[in-house]
Amino acid sequence: MGYPYLALTSKERQEMLAAIGVDSIADLFSDIPREILPKENLDLPEPLTESELIRHVQGLGNRNISLDTHTSFLGAGVYQHLVPRAVYHLANRAEFVTAYTPYQAEISQGVLQATYEYQTLICNLTGMDVANASLYDGATGLAEAALMAIAITGGSRVVTFESLHPDYQAVVDTYLRAVDAELVVIPTPNGTADLQALRSFLGKETAAVLLQQPNFFGLLEPTEEIGALLEGTPTLFVACVNPISLGILQPPATYGADIVVGDGQPLGNPPAFGGPSFGFMAVKQKYIRKMPGRIVGETQDSQGNRGFVLTLQTREQHIRRQRATSNICTNAAHSALIGTIYLALLGKEGLREVAIQCAQKAHHTAEQIYALPGWEPLFAGPFYHEFAVKAPVPWWRVNDALLEEGIIGGLPLSELYPERQDWADAILFCVTEARTVHQIEHLLRVLKGVK
């Protein structure tokens, strides 16, 4: 009876069904409503052998466009960077790949130490006092920060700007609706935060201001001005940052951020459809007991040996929903480990060099595009490694022309902001250190030829 059901003889099938106490295979699916069951047999192809199936699936995969076959200038929250091969070699060691949540700390010292080093690196990167052991991703990390601010201040309103990633906005809005809190999105027709409009929302009702730096359009926000505006008010300042950009931009602690979050995908994790990635969070010391997720601390055992433990949180926070600081149990620890190894290998100067190359190559590319007839910037102001341009032709014609030349074009803003008629043919391009001079020149040649 070790064969698949369909490979059995009629007699063997009946014997198997009788042994489990049913008359037919259909009886095993009796819980499925009849109205959704197929009315006739599915038109499925003939079965394949293992080798035939592998070739078939490989053939389907080869029809896809990927970063192995095309050059990408698409960013918008997921970025392609150069990653040393040593990162994956170390991260994929068996003891890391098979490790699980370290509830039994005394037998999980390696995992706990790696997490402790991760927390230390995130604190160094952001300038904040304490970091947790990572979160699910950047969007849910920002939503957790909003909930945390509400728990701290008692406010029922969170304010952000149109320049925040629209997907992040949607996730935060979903979370806040569940706790009867309001998300206010201030328009940014010029691409960056409107400080005058923000002033009208300050007060005890506003638990937090969420700001992305660099923002979704790649622009640099007036972080110091916003930090000064919120200083002395009950409203918390939540900064959502690109970790690579912190190689050259000010750490959020210097402009008054209370909570810092972001997506760790740029830190050694490859771009992928839907992940995996990880979210990071760092806060001021006084908010540590309100911070969601796990925290690893350093200690000593009875003999004075260095050791690591889960600290400041009881186990019930992870198993009793009503007492938890967060109801997301997954902290994407392996992706965070990849980020840890990436940061450790690059070091401070290496990260700075990556950030400089991103900025320099992006600015060079933008200047060359702006020099083409009919092309112009959508927004004025400084940017990091993404920039929005207005094309002289429909955006789809641009991206179609690029695709024919093996290039994945930028993100059309009209797909996300259909109400913005003046952004109808605007395209958001991204240039990282992974793009070569030859690839940038190829992009420019194709754009120049688009009619």
> Would you kindly state where each structural domain of the chain is located, as residue ranges?
71-81+347-449, 85-343
pLDDT at 367 over 90: yes
What pairing do the DSSP bridges indicate for beta strands 157-161 and 182-186?
Answer: parallel
Q: How far is CA 280 from the centre of its chain?
A: 10
Predicted pLDDT at 331: 67
Give the pLDDT mean for 68-79.
96
Reported as a pLDDT band with limits 50, 70 and 90, residue 329 is low
pLDDT at 216 over 50: yes
Whether 55 has a pLDDT exceeding 50, the answer reads yes
CATH class (in words) of the domain with range 85-343: alpha beta
Query: Which residues, including other chains, have CB under 8 Å from residue 303's CB and lie 6 or more apart?
Result: none
Predicted confidence (pLDDT) at residue 5 exceeds the cutoff of 60: no
Q: Does residue 103 register a pLDDT over 70?
A: no
Q: Is the pLDDT of residue 451 over 90?
A: no
**pLDDT for residue 37:** 83
Kindly tell me if the per-residue pLDDT of 235 is higher than 90: yes
pLDDT of 1 reads 40
pTM exceeding the 0.85 threshold for the entire prediction: yes
pLDDT in tens, 243-270: 999 999 999 999 999 999 999 999 999 9
pLDDT at 12: 87
| Residue 317 CA to its chain's centroid (Å) | 25
pLDDT at 54 over 90: yes
Per-residue pLDDT tens over the stretch 312-328: 875 555 566 666 777 66
- Of the candidate CATH numbers 3.90.1150.10, 3.40.1710.10, 3.40.50.970, 3.30.70.260, the domain formed by 71-81+347-449 belongs to 3.90.1150.10
Over the chain, what is the mean pLDDT? Answer: 92
Instruction: Output the six-digit token pair for 368.
Output: 């060359």
Q: Tell me: the pLDDT tens digits for 135-164? A: 999 999 999 999 999 999 999 999 999 999
Mean pLDDT on 15-44: 87
pLDDT of residue 272: 84
What percentage of the chain exceeds 90 in pLDDT?
76
393-420 pLDDT, tens digit per residue, is 999 999 999 999 999 999 999 999 999 9
Q: Which two tokens stand for residue 332?
A: 């994407």
Q: Looking at per-residue confidence, does 358 or 97 come out higher?
A: 358
